[in-house]
Structure 1
């Protein structure tokens, strides 16, 4: 069976709410959890099929008045993915939240720690009450946590963004090293490293974009029955996500700047090489003309025996070349001005 954590209802404090307001954490690597999802969860067949398949992209959608998001998030242990990403799906409606995963996820474990801290704080508050009241309070707290569905949802999102913040700082430090290397020493940087950083940023940004859109739906969608207090929590989490999106956009801008500078440096080097080749060609052009002119076979040229015949033919070729150059130059100028 999956871990079912009763939560506080956002509608009232009626004790009957504990039977329908809960957090269900499903670990599909366990056969019992898999059996519960397919036969006892009361979810539609299409939804169950979606929850069982592997995540290929990060996305979210509305489903019968609820929100379903599929993410690639950071797990507890490194995976073959460069960011250590594993599958996580979250199904949330007004009265319950269901998390579906195949591997341990840091955000889920930290949320459990958060709920346990709430329970321990509550028991500490009652430490001065009579012993029978203490025992009664402990029984109630083990049955139902004081956190609501929206609290658990936002805490999971905050844990995800906190980890993304650490990843962002690491990538920012790597980019700063490349910037210092380029500006201080003039050394070229590894273009493949920049490409890898850009790829990691884009993957991380996709996670945050889905979270931002999901929070927006929870805030704005009237069918989800979100009250004023819940909206405040959602807006705070949304601001946290937007902040990290802005940070990632800033990292992309820094990478673009480095790549543009490197491309400009490469273009300058190519322009300098072209300029040097042009100078060499200009120096050798008259020599090539003279060697070609004096080395050609003039046996078949008219007026070969005339002392002015050679110079007449040569002058005619030079005039023809100059006329073609003037004609083409003026034609190109007219085309340029026409544009």
Structure 2
């Protein structure tokens, strides 16, 4: 990245490659017959903000949207001026949480594509590598569709990992439930909700784009947008299913814990029912006052213990007869 906030810029050759451009060359607006230009900026730098505000020629509302700190997936058509698009991708930075999704903002107008990021997004760098290898996007519409499909591709492993975690949780619930299962389910459910919160609006963005009448969309671009929409819809359905599965697992775990608590309470009640009369008798015979039967008889203790055993057996039989256990 240069000191002017420009990460990279290319004049696309229409064959999958491109010629690197400087910021001054990006500032010059391409003519309708010129090749497409793609410029990618780091919106967190003062230089990029200054260029967007002073030299880009973009509407003030668009500039504010490109530099906004907190965004959500959106698409806005500014009639003849251009199209503003916000997309989100998984955070693939080291030690980052994947569902903490990173946004990329696009402005497509004329023959120029301007993208802005506030945090690094590996998908954009992948497209840059493809241009360097001459297998990248060929037009502005191709930049958009390639970016959308690449963002979707990076979501797939995360969704698969969440599904695997739910499978393991279900197996654990069936075979050997553990107390830490509740924490694991809550974590998975939180991740699913966070991802759906971003993916569902992004699906609607793609739906608007695939039905738009932008003249710079080719037949191939529209085909890719339809594919992107289908995959996003599938991901949203998968996330809804995972959310329901996690809720079912959590409910089953709660039922298991309640059943376990009830069983333990039942056992304590059963033990208390058996030993309460015995405790009363032993307490009665343990008082230090005169007149205790058998106090002068050496065999009285044996008879007393034997009588306690008899009482215990009688209680066991009675409780069994009334089906306490």
- TM-score with structure 1 setting the length: 0.63
- State the Cα distance separating 1:259 from its structure 2 match: 0.9
Partner of 1:50: helix, strand, or coil? Answer: helix
Structure 1 residues 303-318: aligned runs within 5 Å: none
**CA 78–69 in structure 1, closer or farther in 2 if over 3 Å, else same:** farther
Match of residue 311 from structure 2: none
CA distance, structure 2, for counterparts of residue 242 and residue 146 of structure 1: 24
CA distance, structure 2, for counterparts of residue 214 and residue 115 of structure 1: 25
Match of residue 283 from structure 2: none
Match of residue 97 from structure 1: 113
Partner of 1:88: helix, strand, or coil? Answer: strand
- State the Cα distance separating 1:282 from its structure 2 match: 11
Match of residue 165 from structure 1: 156
Partner of 1:205: helix, strand, or coil? Answer: helix
Match of residue 6 from structure 1: 11
CA distance, structure 2, for counterparts of residue 275 and residue 118 of structure 1: 73
CA distance, structure 1, for counterparts of residue 45 and residue 95 of structure 2: 19
- State the Cα distance separating 1:94 from its structure 2 match: 6.2
CA contact (8 A) 1:26 1:33 kept: yes
CA distance, structure 1, for counterparts of residue 162 and residue 249 of structure 2: 14
Structure 1 residues 181-200: aligned runs within 5 Å: 181-200=172-191
Match of residue 260 from structure 1: 251
CA distance, structure 2, for counterparts of residue 253 and residue 238 of structure 1: 23
Match of residue 115 from structure 1: 131
CA distance, structure 1, for counterparts of residue 265 and residue 197 of structure 2: 43
CA distance, structure 1, for counterparts of residue 260 and residue 97 of structure 2: 38
Structure 1 residues 25-44: aligned runs within 5 Å: 25-44=40-59
Is 1:59 the counterpart of 2:64? The answer is no
Q: Which structure 1 residue ranges, 5 or more long, are not aligned?
A: 10-14, 120-144, 284-339
Which residue among 102, 118, 124 is the counterpart of 1:86?
Answer: 102
Q: Deviations over 1:5-31 (max 9, x none)?
A: 22367xxxxx96564632221112444
Structure 1 residues 224-235: aligned runs within 5 Å: 226-235=217-226
CA distance, structure 1, for counterparts of residue 137 and residue 219 of structure 2: 18
- State the Cα distance separating 1:269 from its structure 2 match: 4.1
Is 1:147 the counterpart of 2:131? The answer is no
Q: Deviations over 1:54-113 (max 9, x none)?
A: 12x523031403443335533452366564543422233564332111232111011112
**CA 190–92 in structure 1, closer or farther in 2 if over 3 Å, else same:** farther
**CA 268–247 in structure 1, closer or farther in 2 if over 3 Å, else same:** same
Match of residue 48 from structure 1: 63
Q: Which structure 2 residue ranges, 5 or more long, are not aligned?
A: 15-29, 275-325
Across the aligned residues of Structure 1 and Structure 2, the Cα RMSD in angstroms comes to 3.4
Partner of 1:58: helix, strand, or coil? Answer: coil
Partner of 2:158: helix, strand, or coil? Answer: helix
- State the Cα distance separating 1:268 from its structure 2 match: 3.3
| Structure 1 stretch displaced more, 218-227 or 236-245 | 218-227
CA contact (8 A) 1:89 1:101 kept: yes
- State the Cα distance separating 1:161 from its structure 2 match: 1.4
Match of residue 206 from structure 1: 197
CA distance, structure 2, for counterparts of residue 83 and residue 8 of structure 1: 35
- TM-score with structure 2 setting the length: 0.65
CA distance, structure 2, for counterparts of residue 184 and residue 274 of structure 1: 23
Q: Number of aligned residue pairs: give it.
A: 253
